[in-house]
Amino acid sequence: MAGPETLMDTESMPSLGRIRIYPIKSLDHMELREVNVGYQSLKGDREFAMVDSDGQFVNGKRTGRVCELHAEYDLVKRLVFLTARQTGELHQFHLDLRFRANLELQNVPPFWEERLFLEPGVGMRFRIGEVTMIGINPRARCNVPPRHPLTGATDKLFVKSMMTSRTQTLPADSMLPLHGNMYHLTVNTFIPDSEQGRVLRVGDKVQILDKVALQ
């Protein structure tokens, strides 16, 4: 039987604290307690896309007006219900296919996740519960974060403020400076084909494994 010290160490380990999928890129999320791993992604995440009459993608990078929409989903019927936040006008749509993934950790200090990437060209293999992933590099942010999440209005000071904050709070062991500027947050990961069909659950423990040479 594990002693008190061992038990305390186990309980304070980093673990998965939140699972969110974003069925449509740039729109509202769904909060889950567990999720199946699909082909190099989480099932249902960024699975759908909006397109205009010319077949061009409509997302937050292209226009801040997507922030004026509230989305609710019926993934079984593959429907999305979009409501205009200001007028309450409701529309229902069928959707087209896309992929990607997002997870959030708990029981860790700020920016702990930066241990999950190294210098360019070297990945970090880690495990969450039964799923093994590889941290590739820090996520470069685009023109969407400066936009207000409900109105789409752009905060022109956001990027500068974020870069200043990142510089002031950078962990001593962070490899972020090797990847360019400070306008990075979160980690790009790769999920090997071998993990397809496994399940991630809130509370799953996180374990760092070893370095991997990236191809």
Residues sharing a CB contact under 8 Å with residue 109, sequence separation 6 or more, in sequence order: 171
pLDDT attached to residue 99: 30
Helix H segments across the chain? 4-11, 158-168
Summary mean pLDDT of the chain: 82
Could you give the angle at the alpha carbon of 186 between the alpha carbons of 145 and 127, nearest 5°?
150
Q: What is the pLDDT of residues 63-114, one digit of tens each?
A: 888 888 899 988 777 677 889 888 988 888 765 443 333 788 889 888 899 9
Task: Give the residue among 21, 74, 90 at the shortest CA–CA distance from 82.
Answer: 90
pLDDT at 199 over 60: yes
If DSSP codes are grouped into helix, strand and coil, which group holds residue 10? helix
In angstroms, the CA 94 to CA 90 distance is 14
**So what's the pLDDT on residue 111?**
87
**pLDDT at residue 145 greater than cutoff 80:** no
Which pLDDT band, with edges at 50, 70 and 90, does 158 fall under?
confident
Least confident interval from 77-86, 177-186, 190-199, 204-213: 77-86
Q: What is the pLDDT of residues 201-213, one digit of tens each?
A: 999 999 999 999 9
